[in-house]
Every structure is written in structure tokens, then in C-alpha cells.
Amino acid sequence: MKLTRGLTRGLILGGLLLPLIVGVYQVWPRSMSQDWQPAGVVAPPELMEQAVEEHLDSNFDEHLEQLAVMKISHPGQGSPLYVINTRIPTRSIYDNPRCGAIGCLFLGYMQTGDDYQNVLSVYLDRHLPPGIPFIEAGDVQNGMPELTIHQIDGAELMRVRLALTNNAYEPVETQFLPM
């Protein structure tokens, strides 16, 4: 009798816990192919030249191939998304033209025909607690992945979900989580 009651209680609690775990897994952002690599390895030269022309300056010419780029591409996506970290890795953060107190400039580009379109321009601070990615890709919506950005806001972790709308990534949800 006692064994049956314990087993029943375990099955009921397990039956309640499993949907909760599955639900959290379904709404938690999933990382896709997201390795930061030198621009000279992963990004087309035309893209980097366009990024310099539109957002950077001649300070970047000699360092262009060293900039970190994340190429996000997975099934169902219209074209790859290139996220460029404009921090020059051989310089201190204080000696970087596109870095400041709130972080460094990150640019996102997608290919449109023979050109690239700037769809993201945001300053981010990469310093987060261990295990928390500052930017990651999620499910594909409107032919491009949703992005989730994590940043520290006081004593809380701010999680912002971005989606491509009107040719630019825009916030669709913001959450403040305890750390």
C-alpha cells in the first residue's frame, strides 16, 4: 500500500514535472552554428569592405581580417547572417574606435543578391557570467533566425529576443532575470 502510494505520487509529480521541463526547453533559445572566427576565414571580402564603408573607417583596414565574425546559417534560412564584432583584437578595449563604456559595436549583415544589407547595429558588452552567451540564434522566422541577446542590467540579466522585421532586427520580447 505504502509502495503504491509513493509510486503514484512519483508518477503524478513526474507527470507534472516533465511537461514543465519540455515547455522550458521549447521556449529556451537554441544555439545553431555559432562559432566566432576571423573575418578573413568566414566573411566574404566584399561584405567586410561594405561594413568599413558604412560603419567603420580607415582604422580598420589593416585589422579587417582579424575582426571576429559569426556566420549563422541553418536550414530554412534565406541567406547567411554575418554578425561582425568591430573590436580590433590586438588593441585594448579603450583604444578601439567602436568600443566604449557600454561595449563594442556589433553589426549584422545578410546577403541580398550581389550586395549585403545591414540588418543589425547594436553595442554589446561581452562580459557575462560563465555559461551565458551574449548573442545566440534561435528559430527561423521570416527567412532569418531570431536572435537572443544577453546583457547585464544592474543586478539582473536582461534577455532580449530580436526578430527580422522591415529589413532590420527589432526587439520582440525583453525579460529581466535574476542572476
Residue-level pLDDT at 14: 46
pTM: 0.77
With a cut of 90, say whether residue 91 has pLDDT above it.
Answer: no
**Residue 16 forms part of a structural domain:** no
With a cut of 90, say whether residue 159 has pLDDT above it.
Answer: yes
Q: Alpha helices, DSSP H only, in the chain?
A: 2-27, 39-42, 45-55
CB 157 within 8 A of CB 170: no
**Residue 4 forms part of a structural domain:** no
pLDDT averaged over the chain? 80
As a whole number of angstroms, the distance between CA 61 and CA 37 comes to 18
Grid coordinates representing 127 are 562580459
Grid coordinates representing 112 are 541580398
As a whole number of angstroms, the distance between CA 139 and CA 9 comes to 36
Residue-level pLDDT at 34: 57
Beta partners for 104? 99, 124
**Residue 117 forms part of a structural domain:** yes
Helix, strand, coil percent content, the chain, rounded in steps of 5: 30, 40, 30
As a whole number of angstroms, the distance between CA 171 and CA 157 comes to 16
C-alpha atoms less than 13 angstroms from C-alpha of 157 in its C-beta half-sphere: 17
Beta partners for 39? none
**Residue 13 forms part of a structural domain:** no
What is the tally of structural domains in the chain? 1
Segments forming the whole domain that contains residue 137: 32-178
Residue-level pLDDT at 61: 67
**Residue 39 forms part of a structural domain:** yes
CB 117 within 8 A of CB 167: yes
With a cut of 90, say whether residue 41 has pLDDT above it.
Answer: yes
User: Cα-flanking dihedrals φ and ψ of residue 6, to 5°?
Assistant: -65, -40
* 37 Cβ contact partners less than 8 Å away, ≥ 6 residues apart: 68, 69, 70, 71
**Residue 6 forms part of a structural domain:** no
pLDDT band at residue 13 under the 50/70/90 scheme:
very low
**Residue 22 forms part of a structural domain:** no
**Residue 64 forms part of a structural domain:** yes
Which is more confident, 10 or 82?
82
Of 12-21, 29-38, 76-85, 153-162, where does mean pLDDT reach its minimum?
Answer: 12-21
